[in-house]
Structure 1
Amino acid sequence: MDLDAVRTFVAAADAGQFQEAAARLSITQQAVSKRVAALEKELAVRLFTRTPRGAQLTIDGQAFLPHARELLRVAERADASVRPGRRALRVDVVNRRIAPAVLLQDFYRVHPGVELDVITLAADFHGAVAAIEAGTIDATFHAVPVAAQELPDVIRTAAVIDEPHELLVGPRHPFADARAVTPAQLAGHRIWMPGLPSGTEWGDYYDQLAAAFGLTIDVIGPVFGNEALLAEIADSATLSTLVGARSWYMWPDRYDLRRVPIRDPSPIYPMSIIWRADNPHPALQKLRDFLDVRREVREAEIWLPAWAS
């Protein structure tokens, strides 16, 4: 399969317009059209439907897109395998709103000369470890729910983040004006986290948290995104959700949402940096040194899941 055609298809899918894809790839719009047409001919399907607003993926195009991305990732790994240290440091932050993304941005402020490729893998701990082992990424941030002896020999981990939780509520919620709440006070109040996946380390964390303090964590309902979740909480006198103390969330002033610390004890979500012991990338050690310096001392009154205790 022609990788240039695949790369052009992905660029067009991301841009939503052939003209914008051409600008990103520094080629003509006609060249984009020819490459996509050749790929469609090879696959014997239509990948795009032209609309007045640009190019929209067909169902076949949507199905092909993740595989196209994987083809390009494999090609990048093959190239990087013979050029160690020449590509950007590729770090998975899991989610661009949470503490690892904040820390990585702080690292870049201190080391602006380091080339960074910040990505978000759609993977749990085991998937992320597999990506590290395969060399797809250089480092990732995850909770480590297994013992060290259960990890592949080449994998290393170091605890770097203890993320306290806060309760996010609207202005009419009973805890809206509280300076802090305890986990015991949250029993009987609906904590809404729609789409929380089971079978992952974070799903297990919240299961243990709910069991430890008798909490009601509601994961039922379709996921319409963070913006819809924040709007629902702002308009409700009963709904709340849990957010990391260092997570980024933005909302209109009219929502008047409140972030209330949870204390006595403070539930902590522990995260580690994970990397390959034989990774030669020169920026990886800089990142690890930076995180070692920024490591915080745990408070006395905290709660941790069983696998982190």
Structure 2
Amino acid sequence: MDLDTVRTFVAAAEAGQFQQAAAELAVTQQAVSKRIAALERNLGVRLFTRTPRGAQLTIDGQAFLPHARELLRVAERAVASVRTGRRPLRVDVIASRGAASGLMRGFHRAHPEIELDVVWLFGIERAVDALRSGEIDASFRAVAAPGRPLPEDIDSVRVLDEALQLLTGPGHALASARSVTVSELAGHRIWMPGIVPGTEWAAYYDALVAEFGLTIEATGPNFGSDALLDTIADTPALATFMGGQTRLVWPAGHGLRRIPVTDPTPVYPHSLLWHRDNPHPALTALRAHLAATTAGHDAAGTWRPGWVMPR
């Protein structure tokens, strides 16, 4: 059904005259008559009768009027849902408990008037495709891993260098340490079943292993963070890395330890990615918020892979 004919019908019904409806729609009276006639042919009924005082709705016209108004309201809502600035800002944070999710919570607290859709996408290729298609407006990623340069139409800015910590159970040899150096981790088994080959986080840990000679194992199925914590708590031979801003809660009986890593401190580089032509006004607000609230980068005594893009 053509919405212009429906809009013309509603205008004529509310005005009671084709001439007045034509003036409101900025068309000729002849155009109004043709649109009404076309709608009547489409519906197979008469919608108006002509009287000396103008146009009067028939019984069928009266029945159709509320539905015609609803059609126009639905059409307006459909347009508004994709109109820049009137739809939610859609941001990929990778996972619900990570640092990026925390950054978006901070943005939401600072700008509660901005409507958000937060999504979790797997892998940078998926995120870049979503940015280019308009499925999302921004994504938090580590860039740019070897062999995975960012396309020219994708912009990025470093927003957070997140320090890694060592997570151990109470029986681990390093459990009582107030901090550990990277060199002290050599020979210890670090278990990280969430590392998936081809991802940007796999590239990060490959670089960490190559730089410091660590032993990182990604064997076994990944049953999620709760199962990982259970295993670390019960297995003195295993430890794992965890971002300093990762938010996890575990049972008190687990006795887990989060231990700072030093000399140097490995940091995971989070960048915000967006499509260069994205006009969403809230994207500018997000970038400004992150620039004003996140800490500096490339601090002394820290390490990140050589492929990490500068700020």
Q: TM-score, normalised by structure 1?
A: 0.71
Cα deviation digits, residues 88-129 of structure 1 (max 9, x gap) = 11000011111110011011111111101011012x222211
Residues 144 and 150, structure 2, Cα contact 8 Å, conserved in 1: no
Query: Aligned runs of 1:185-204 on 2, under 5 Å?
Result: 185-204=184-203
Query: Aligned runs of 1:127-138 on 2, under 5 Å?
Result: 127-138=126-137
How far off is 1:81 after superposition?
Answer: 8.6
In structure 1, the gaps of 5 or more residues are 1-77
Residues 168 and 260, structure 1, Cα contact 8 Å, conserved in 2: yes
Distance across 2 between alignment mates of 1:137 and 1:260 = 36
How far off is 1:172 after superposition?
Answer: 1.0
User: 2:117 matched to which residue of 1?
Assistant: 117
Residues 195 and 221, structure 1, Cα contact 8 Å, conserved in 2: no
In structure 2, the gaps of 5 or more residues are 1-77
Distance 1:165 1:150, change over 3 A: closer
User: 2:163 matched to which residue of 1?
Assistant: 164
How far off is 1:197 after superposition?
Answer: 0.4
Matched, 1:105 2:141: no
Deviates more, 1:289-298 or 1:266-275: 289-298
Residues 162 and 271, structure 1, Cα contact 8 Å, conserved in 2: yes
Distance across 1 between alignment mates of 2:228 and 2:150 = 36
Cα deviation digits, residues 173-226 of structure 1 (max 9, x gap) = 111111111111001001001141011111011011011111110101112221
Residues 121 and 128, structure 1, Cα contact 8 Å, conserved in 2: yes
How far off is 1:256 after superposition?
Answer: 1.0
Q: Once superposed, which parts of structure 1, at least 4 consecutive aligned residues long, lie more than 6 Å away?
A: 78-81
> The residue matched to 2:83 in structure 1 has which SS?
coil
Residues 94 and 120, structure 1, Cα contact 8 Å, conserved in 2: yes
User: 2:151 matched to which residue of 1?
Assistant: 152
Residues 160 and 296, structure 2, Cα contact 8 Å, conserved in 1: no
User: 2:245 matched to which residue of 1?
Assistant: 246
Q: TM-score, normalised by structure 2?
A: 0.70
Residues 180 and 262, structure 1, Cα contact 8 Å, conserved in 2: yes
**Number of residue pairs aligned between Structure 1 and Structure 2:** 230
Residues 166 and 239, structure 2, Cα contact 8 Å, conserved in 1: yes
Distance across 1 between alignment mates of 2:186 and 2:196 = 22
Amino-acid identity (%): 50
**One-letter amino acid of the counterpart of residue 193, structure 1:** M
RMSD: 1.9
How far off is 1:146 after superposition?
Answer: 5.4
Distance across 1 between alignment mates of 2:192 and 2:155 = 31
Distance across 1 between alignment mates of 2:149 and 2:169 = 43
User: 2:261 matched to which residue of 1?
Assistant: 262
How far off is 1:150 after superposition?
Answer: 4.7
**One-letter amino acid of the counterpart of residue 99, structure 1:** A
Query: Aligned runs of 1:166-245 on 2, under 5 Å?
Result: 166-245=165-244
**One-letter amino acid of the counterpart of residue 92, structure 2:** D
User: 1:40 matched to which residue of 2?
Assistant: none
Distance 1:127 1:79, change over 3 A: farther
